[in-house]
Structure 1
Amino acid sequence: MINSTARLDDADDVDVAIAAARAGAEAVHARYGQRLSRMDKGAGDFATDADVAAEAAILDVIRAARPEDAVLGEEGGQHGAADAVRQWLVDPLCGTLNYAVGNMLVAVNVALRNGPAAAADPFSGEVFFTDGDTAWVRSDEGDSRLAPTAATRLVDMNLDPPFPGAPGFRAVDLLAHPGFVERFRPRVVSTTLALAWVAAGKRAAYVTDGGDLAGNLHFAAGIALCRAAGCVVTGVDGAPIGQGGEADQSGQGQVGRGLVAAADAETHSLLMSMIRSRG
């Protein structure tokens, strides 16, 4: 693996993902606590100048290392052909609302579609990454293999509206399920950093409502990490989700909507039984 000063000309894609996520995380960290400009996106959503700066830093890394690749960014949109064989999915600051109010629970997500991915925590300094086959976390102590476990019994949920799966299912419905409160304890981090935590054994599972995650740049890195770590990942309907959060192109039936990422099969099965009983 490369270090922060190494050239990226001949780097593997996983090295590019790590370097890009780190660059974005540095931009986010540098602007923390500053007065931020907000750019309204409608429906209560907004971006800040930290989002924009982080995406620019990520793009600089990708362009330098992979000038022919396309990039889809949360703030800048499509760069290069949308149907390019190689496309990077960039969420420069997941958890903007948290960040804007001084909460440090955020993530910087970079994923090559159907390939390596990285998610950086700007404040812990950790970078969670995968080459597509194995998943690791890089910290000051070095690299450690991610080992998911349900031991914490903590389940993160995305409770932000809208609820595209309603009335059939909403993640918030699990909070009222007697089986859930007997077995698990809910958490609401409001960032896909929670998916990295499932892969790392800091969370037992993560659940988000029934939207279509096909090509979704917010979830691509987290899904890739969970898959490579050995987690069980499906839609809230139990159907498979394609690689990198894309729609399944295998022709094997329906494509999963929403997301249930669990540390192990038992936890996934328990959550699915609760979801189905609420549907």
Structure 2
Amino acid sequence: MTITDGELAVAAAQAGAAVVRARYGTALERFGKGGGDFATAADIEAEQAIHAVLRAARPGDAFVGEETGQTGDAPRTWLVDPLCGTLNFAARTPLVAVNVALRTAAGVTAAASADPFAGEVFWTDGDGAFRRRDGRDEPLVPDAGSALAELDVDPPTPNGPAFLAERLLLEPSFRAAFRPRVLSTSLGLLWVADGRRAVYVIDRDLRDDVHFAAGIAVCRAAGCALSGLRGEPVGAGAHGLVAAADAGTHTAVLAAVAAVWAGV
């Protein structure tokens, strides 16, 4: 029986997650990327494991990996970030995600993000959005009740210095409505889809970004409210991402973001 794209995304993310778990806390060679960024041997080995799963099932598809770049050229392309949160991982902080997304002419049509340490996979087949744990799927249900807001402040920040996400910490309307957190991994974006965060904000050019393609697809399928920092469609420009559990929360965040823009 042929595996579906959604199940293949899950299997690939789980393969990468298994490598990440096995390499956690071990001595890891680092490979500098410039600007203080680096990959570890775990990043590369996880990406190889993901690629092997995808290649075996879909040999005609193209592949774009964070560490190894592009392989092939096809209408169907897998976007892979094998270890989102490398600095966390290298510092023995188990807050990371393994991200796999399939981009087609219709957009991202299947995606999975695995939390290697919680044993969870957040995934979508293009319709529903689910959390899989111990082989069981539960639908993802966004909920703004926690008022927790995840800010990703890692560089690059294409809209700085005009906009920096950390300035939301000083914006009165934002501080009154939300309780900020900083994890520095796309795991926080997935938690918006699962009701564990009300908001996620990042300043980044997200067009074909391997780090966030899976998380955005999962959030969209779960019914989250998504836009760029100026309220434009996600990926319409280099204006980052606002993901919120519902439309009202999204409106409140955009108002705070606009105040930060205006205050510069």
Does the alignment reach a TM-score above 0.5? yes
Counterpart Cα distance in 1 of 2:257 and 2:181: 17
Counterpart Cα distance in 2 of 1:192 and 1:179: 25
- Displacement of 1:166 in angstroms is 1.9
Candidates 171, 174, 179, aligned match of 1:185 = 179
Secondary structure class of the residue paired with 1:51 = helix
Secondary structure class of the residue paired with 2:153 = coil
Correspondence for 1:6: none
What letter matches 2:249 in structure 1?
T
Correspondence for 1:51: 43
Asked if the contact 1:22/1:120 (under 8 Å) is kept, the reply is yes
Structure with higher strand content: 2
Q: Percent identity?
A: 56
Correspondence for 1:104: 94
- Displacement of 1:167 in angstroms is 2.9
Candidates 123, 136, 143, aligned match of 1:129 = 123
Q: Given the superposition, is the C-alpha separation of residues 105 and 64 from structure 1 closer, same or farther in structure 2, using an over 3 Å criterion?
A: same
1:191-226 deviation digits (Å, cap 9, x = unpaired):
0011110000000010001x3211111110000000
Counterpart Cα distance in 2 of 1:110 and 1:223: 11
Structure 1 runs, 4 residues or longer, greater than 6 Å off: none
- Are 2:94 and 1:94 aligned? no
- Are 2:234 and 1:238 aligned? no
Asked if the contact 1:234/1:256 (under 8 Å) is kept, the reply is no
**TM, length-normalised to structure 1:** 0.90
Secondary structure class of the residue paired with 2:109 = coil
Moved more, 123-132 or 165-174: 165-174
- Displacement of 1:140 in angstroms is 1.9
**TM, length-normalised to structure 2:** 0.95
What letter matches 2:258 in structure 1?
R
Candidates 20, 23, 27, aligned match of 1:28 = 20
- Displacement of 1:141 in angstroms is 6.6
Counterpart Cα distance in 1 of 2:47 and 2:156: 25
Asked if the contact 1:18/1:118 (under 8 Å) is kept, the reply is yes
Asked if the contact 1:240/1:256 (under 8 Å) is kept, the reply is no
Unmatched segments (≥5 aa) in structure 1: 1-8, 242-246, 249-254
Asked if the contact 2:207/2:238 (under 8 Å) is kept, the reply is no
Counterpart Cα distance in 1 of 2:209 and 2:238: 13
Secondary structure class of the residue paired with 2:189 = helix
Unmatched segments (≥5 aa) in structure 2: none
Counterpart Cα distance in 2 of 1:203 and 1:171: 16
Counterpart Cα distance in 2 of 1:193 and 1:144: 17
Counterpart Cα distance in 2 of 1:97 and 1:57: 21
How many residues in Structure 1 have an aligned counterpart in Structure 2? 257
What letter matches 1:92 in structure 2?
P
Asked if the contact 1:237/1:256 (under 8 Å) is kept, the reply is no
Counterpart Cα distance in 2 of 1:134 and 1:168: 37
What letter matches 1:126 in structure 2?
E
Asked if the contact 1:239/1:256 (under 8 Å) is kept, the reply is no
1:169-207 deviation digits (Å, cap 9, x = unpaired):
111110001111111111111100111100000000100
- Are 2:72 and 1:80 aligned? yes
